[in-house]
Structure 1
């Protein structure tokens, strides 16, 4: 089956009421589809960039949503040049830089792909845990490195491109490939212990959400609008829940991808779909607790009594965690291709297509701060370190850090 993937730039034009892509490229006849102009903030909070570092990567053409992995005071990033780096969250210094060149076998000789070749590159972003950093590539290769030194521990191969960060647990390394399969690898040597194959629709959004885990189960969102809970040890299905129906007259209308971050609570899981549905699900049995007719291609986050997300139109929502009812919505960032919100102190933070980072008050959604990290789009969800520093990675590999704003 021929599988097609679309990047968000094209998809959003078709989901916000416009019938062509012209408005996204400056056509004066279709200003209604242009990204909303940014309005000056009357009394902005002070948001200052602590440091910034260009990693020399250019992932803009890939349409990926890579993000850094954080453990303690270290950031771990991978890029399309085949490199994995450990970086100090305090000052941006590079602690180690490992070149991980994907390999192929041709006859009896071993060849190395160059970093910029179409076949090479680390496309999935890293996962970190238990002293390891694990990253996947566009050729399906998975590489595990020592988190302290960057030395290679092992490498393995899955059946397709890896565009989601692997989940690192004590018992298994869980890796998604872009052909619908999920693999459970042995942390010691990368050998395959199980594989789960769900299949994929003919057309989907370019992206896969990273698995999340409560220690017993791994939860994954799929391109057909479902969330699946797998047992970590053996990969058996604990439950499956449909978040959004795949309905419509054509492949584009039927897209229902659950591609953004899943948010895991104490006994519930929250998921959102490109088809415009958000659902709270019981982790015990997979039954829906509530469903809301709003959703998006990015994921969601939890903040106290609420769930926060950005929908496909660029509206930021806060939903009641227990009922799904809307607490507030912010529409001033319409059509700006917003990231999943991050929680930064008492604020929500989203990145946009022009490299701007926006701070919203969590209690009412008012935009109170803004800073431009760079000129490239921000696709990956901003991350927050244990000490409260916000980390933003844009599509051209610029890493920026922001301390917590004054309350």
Structure 2
């Protein structure tokens, strides 16, 4: 392939496309005259054009390397090799890089990437520090050729800076050799050409480059490329294709921005800038519901919940919908005056609670049931036993009867900032606060039974077997008695911690990039699993733990030992808790502008 390397404004050719340099039947006789691009000096434009055309006409193979030196020490080295067959529209390319060793074989690099183009798809494998990631995308041989064309454009830009001598025929290599004798113009850096040799075959196709350049006397670039063209060159399938079915998703579907996903029976429901129902079996769309967005200045998002045969949807443009689960047809719609209205269904009422008012509609026809408006913006809300608990931005907690909309009680908490109602158990409501407190409220009348001060803002609260588990933004985890808030133990992860109870253990996802399994009784760690990015919401199942990391990977972890079962690359951060059903884990990455839903086998080694 043709690639370039730039140091202090100078680019050196470090790759090639096709050649006829390997001859087994003795010396190659010199043609009557050089090809047209070499007759009156080196015509870089013509060399580029002829080499590009050859990519679509003949099979080729190429290998090359480029290394950077400073004071005689390798600073970085890259090597690559490729084969392409335009007739079969199949290609394979492998690239490796190393920081300390001069590479000749790309497979010896610290990081090795390989692409295999075949049957309108490209399969990818990358090895980095022992971790192997696979990928697959829809594309064709033309994408491979386009990459080479981009490299050739770089060669063209570099070549215009060189002065070349006259071509000389090398009968052993079966090609013309053209020496680089200088630079046409003075560059910013002091550049010395130690060697610069260009090989061009009798058809005017670039078939090899060898160059060593010194920059300002301290840095050096060495580049070598060799290749050949021949109709008999074949492209073999890489051995790792046998692994790819086990390591790639069962299916993946790109959806809109900031998607949320639930699994309902045989359907995966996704809400973003539209609502999509996907088949659990293969990801094919069963139906789509287009939302009538009006404000193109907003990032259009929606959320949904399912009850029976109806999907209830809230949008950040204040429209709410009830859709038929089977076909996505609209049953009714309404408009509310609140941002981000998340739907919850209680009996025959669907409640849309957003950052402003709360609206309730009857599920069958969408007629209004009741409306409630707080004095301050509602910041957090949760439902329990036909009661909606709302914490506002001024420290007020209110309990509302969901069936009637009447207020059961409200209370001013000592923390004069937002309060986050999180869980109700044993007739007690537990809530955290921005200013670093945990409260235990009587769920019947709102009486504050106890208060515990944390180091900083609480980010998660859960309850199990008489204990309240709290994680705060500093990374501290607290175990408190539910009856009086007495501290039982603490554990420090050093970054924002979210707690998830298991049966006899608790699991903590931390922004330090780790998942912890702790003893529920003592807080002692059983194991720690490290990733390279924030983790927050693991799915904890009998078959293992599944969690997305901000390092753009999804991990499957053995629950008892903390050992990695597998690691799968996703497009961005699968931040939300995955769903695990019938041997398949469904995860959604948030993307940078659009997200993707993935389905992976929980145990790919099993039939």
Q: Is the 8 A contact 1:67 1:383 kept in 2?
A: no
In the alignment, the residues of structure 2 paired with residue 147 and residue 399 of structure 1 have an alpha-carbon distance, to the nearest angstrom, of: 31
Asked which structure has the greater RCO (Cα within 8 Å, sep 6+), the reply is 1
Matched, 1:239 2:439: no
Matched, 1:340 2:528: no
Q: Is the 8 A contact 2:585 2:602 kept in 1?
A: no
Count of residues in Structure 1 that have an aligned counterpart in Structure 2: 328
Equivalence map 1:223-372=2 (5 Å):
223-242=434-453, 244-245=454-455, 256-260=456-460, 262-294=461-493, 296-297=495-496, 299-332=498-531, 334=532, 336-353=533-550, 356-370=553-567
Equivalence map 1:31-180=2 (5 Å):
39-40=131-132, 48=250, 51=268, 53-56=270-273, 78-84=314-320, 94=328, 99-103=333-337, 120-122=338-340, 125-138=342-355, 140-146=356-362, 152-170=368-386, 172-180=387-395
Q: Is the 8 A contact 2:552 2:571 kept in 1?
A: yes
Q: TM-score of the superposition, structure 1-length normalised?
A: 0.65
Q: Is the 8 A contact 1:51 1:92 kept in 2?
A: no
Q: Deviations over 1:151-196 (max 9, x none)?
A: 54222112333343422423x2111223322211122322323222
Q: CA deviation at 1:82?
A: 2.5
Structure 1 unaligned blocks of 5 or more: 1-36, 104-119, 246-255
Q: TM-score of the superposition, structure 2-length normalised?
A: 0.45
Q: Deviations over 1:9-60 (max 9, x none)?
A: xxxxxxxxxxxxxxxxxxxxxxxxxxxx9943698678645746353179xx
What is the Cα-based RMSD across aligned positions, in Å?
Answer: 4.3
In the alignment, the residues of structure 1 paired with residue 344 and residue 494 of structure 2 have an alpha-carbon distance, to the nearest angstrom, of: 26
In the alignment, the residues of structure 1 paired with residue 326 and residue 466 of structure 2 have an alpha-carbon distance, to the nearest angstrom, of: 37
Aligned partner of residue 40 in structure 1, secondary structure: strand
Q: CA deviation at 1:76?
A: 5.6
Whichever of the two has the greater Rg, that structure is: 2
Q: Quickly say closer, same or farther: Cα 1:304–1:74, change in 2 above 3 A.
A: farther
- Greater strand share, 1 or 2? 2
